Chains A and B, each alone.
Chain A
Amino acid sequence: MAEISLNRLPQTAPAKRSFFTWLVGAESKFQAKDAVQGYLFALPWILGLIIFIAGPMLASLYFSFTEYSVLDSPTWVGLDNYHKAFMGDDLFYTSLGRTFYYAILVVPLTLAGSLLLALLLNQRLFGRNIYRTLFFIPHLTPEVAMAVIWLWLLDPHLGPFNYVLKSIGLPEFPFLTDRDTVIPSLALIAFWAGVGGNRMLIFLAGLQGVPNDLYEAADIDGASVWSKFRHVTLPMISPTMLFNLILGIIGAMKVFNIAFVATRGGPAYGSWFFALHIYQQAFEFYRLGYGSALAWIFAIVLIVFTLVNLRISNRWVFYQGES
């Protein structure tokens, strides 16, 4: 008898559901009231998404098909802006190329460096909290201050870096003042600033999450330090690696602040990054339509990178629980 009455409950309940109860995805009137409160708590973000993210995205998509110069209202020009970007804007390719060059230097170096630092901190060393803090501090430096500091450190005539180079018999290195060396120099700064930052902490957490019994089992099998790293540590932290890789690529491609302050995109457009190009078109020349088109091209490039990354990740990322 008890079973029957239990079975009948869920059958009768949906029949009584009002349209509103169904709409909010609830089973009963009480749940529906609760669901409404759920929407209310999420309301700030729902509004924020619409006003500051979704709305602007749609608006910028529309502007990207218009000519819009602040003073006049936007006029529809179809694909002209996109056509101009690909066919009639030399700096477009320069900026893409410079951005890729920078990212190709920064992403792998920082990723490998962060992992190595995390491995070092994962050893039982005396005072490792102090090392962790010192490695982390550059990451906290405001980028504007960082630009100012590094311009001074890398000064081609008076900076301490060139002093060291000179004293070991090497010629002066132009660093940020030459088109050929500006990108590696900016990569060096980014490496200093980022290698001990969030990525290192995330790797460290990942390393500490590797179960001890895996290392014990490897020890019993007589595995060497290297093969434990290669066959236990690396697979176990590969999800962390993917997370860091994706965020690292996005972060590197968005590079703006340091170049804006330290080099102004120069010398000779040597550090003319894509974000600088968008900034100049939109906020110095007030070509809001063309700037929007550039921003969308940029977003699509980033999305493609992320998707490709996720796509090929199943070849090298190992998730516990999936055997």
Chain B
Amino acid sequence: MVAHSSVQTSGPVQSSSSLSGLRGRLGTILLYVLAIVLCVAFGYPFFYTLSSSLKAPSEIYIFPPTLLPEVPQWQNYTRVLTEYPYTTWFMNTVFVTLVATLGTVLSSSLVAYSFARFSYRGRDGLFLITLATMMLPAQVTLIPQFILFWKLGWLDTFYPLWVPMWFGGTAFFIFLMRQFMMSLPRELDEAALIDGASRFRIYWNILMPLCKPVLATAAIIAFMAEWNRFIEPVIYLNSPMKFTLSVGVSFFKQNADSSSEILQHILMAAAVMMIAPTLVVFFSAQKYFVQGIAMTGIKG
């Protein structure tokens, strides 16, 4: 008994712990080899993209493909910025992403507070409906939403992309924050209530500071979703100066296809510049991101 549990404390999940000696060590080496091979497999497309984005037009169509550019062509990047309205697309995307993310985090936390801390008729039914909307394909609401925004005169504006996010965001964020708030002790609210604090003060001054981790998680996930959003901007935005990056790069790609000039390396540079911000955001807040996704899985 004692011997077994001491083995287990060294790593209960390490299934090779029960294998001893050479076989265990071999298994461990194999696992490392596997992990490294997988890292290469996941990383290679990025490496190749980066390398292609720095190649000269004469190098890009060489077969077999070269691993690295002979001389890095940094002007490929300046060409994207000067010959295409890339900066405008970038700023459009930043604007839409930030406003939509802010709306998502603020409004979904209000709704989550209502679900987590109040009792009223219809609350549980409303929460169930909320969860059910997560299963709904966006296509069902897309056409009527298009008609709605068209009648409002919002086509070719950014409103359709961020206004809905100020109405609770999406069910996922409400669910995420409600789960987190449920885990905070109710005594905090009750003590403040007795001291005469209003419900809004409790939300803003007591719960929100405690919710920082989940707010950060929601903000990052919302940021990624908005940055990558594609079908809505395709439908709503028509003039090239209004494009977001996803529409812009897709437009650029079609342009490159029909152009007689070699633009593959420029296209790769545009793709790199589109991916980079998501990586920066991810690395600066990786901890929250991973926690948040894990949280939804366990409790869902």
Contact = CB atoms under 8 A, between A and B. Distances in A.
Interface of A: 23-26, 31, 34-42, 44-49, 51-53, 55-57, 59-60, 63, 70, 117, 120, 122-126, 128, 130-138, 140-145, 147-153, 157-160, 163, 167, 192, 196, 198, 201-210, 212, 215-216, 219-220, 225, 228-229, 240, 243-244, 246, 250, 253-254, 256-257, 260-261, 275, 278-279, 282-283, 288, 291-292, 294-296, 298-299, 302-303, 306
A145 B270 CA distance: 8
B136 to A, nearest CB: 7
Counting from the closest, the 8 A-B pairs by CB-CB distance are A48-B167, A38-B118, A202-B297, A25-B121, A45-B168, A205-B294, A56-B144, A41-B114
B137 A140 contact: no
Interface string B20-58: 000000001001101100110111011011001000000
B135 A250 contact: yes
Q: Looking at chain B, what size class is its interface with the partner chain? A: 35 or more
Given A25-B122, A148-B271, A201-B294, A45 B137 contact: no
B206 interface: no
B271 A219 contact: no
A282 B114 contact: no
A178 B203 CA distance: 57
Contacts of A167: 64
B126 to A, nearest CB: 7
A245 B153 CA distance: 40
Interface in B135-161: 135-148, 150
B35 A26 contact: no
Given A215-B12, A216-B8, A283-B146, A205 B138 contact: no
B219 interface: no
B12 A47 contact: no
B119 interface: yes
Contact of B65 (A160, A257, A306): A160
Given A131-B35, A140-B279, A160-B65, A240 B297 contact: yes
Contacts of A288: 143, 146-147
A123 B230 contact: no
Contacts of A117: 38
B264 interface: yes
Nearest to A250: B135
Nearest to A62: B144
B16 A158 contact: no
A215 B167 contact: no
A41 B208 CA distance: 14
Interface stretch (B68-76, B77-85, B242-250): B242-250
Nearest to A54: B129
B179 interface: no
A295 B142 contact: yes
A42 B125 CA distance: 13
B259 interface: no
B113 interface: yes
A150 B18 CA distance: 42
Interface in B100-125: 107-108, 110-111, 113-115, 117-123
Contacts of B296: 202
B209 interface: no
A292 B145 CA distance: 11
A151 B249 CA distance: 14
Nearest to A52: B164
B14 A124 contact: yes
Given A44-B110, A59-B147, A135-B38, A206 B298 contact: yes
Nearest to A163: B64
B174 interface: yes
Given A138-B42, A144-B249, A229 B15 contact: yes
A220 B139 contact: no
B142 A282 contact: yes
B224 interface: yes
A135 B42 contact: yes
B87 interface: no
B278 A140 contact: yes
Interface string B245-278: 1110110010000000000100110110011001
Contacts of A60: 140-141, 143-144
Contacts of B129: 49
A148 B39 contact: no
A34 B167 contact: no
Contacts of B268: 148-149, 152
Contacts of A292: 143-144
A243 B298 CA distance: 9
A81 to B, nearest CB: 12
Contact of A42 (B13, B126, B166): B126
Nearest to A306: B135
Given A35-B119, A215-B8, A52 B167 contact: yes
Contact of A302 (B31, B135, B168, B274): B135
A22 B144 CA distance: 36
Given A48-B164, A212-B12, A282-B143, A137 B279 contact: yes
A169 B21 CA distance: 40
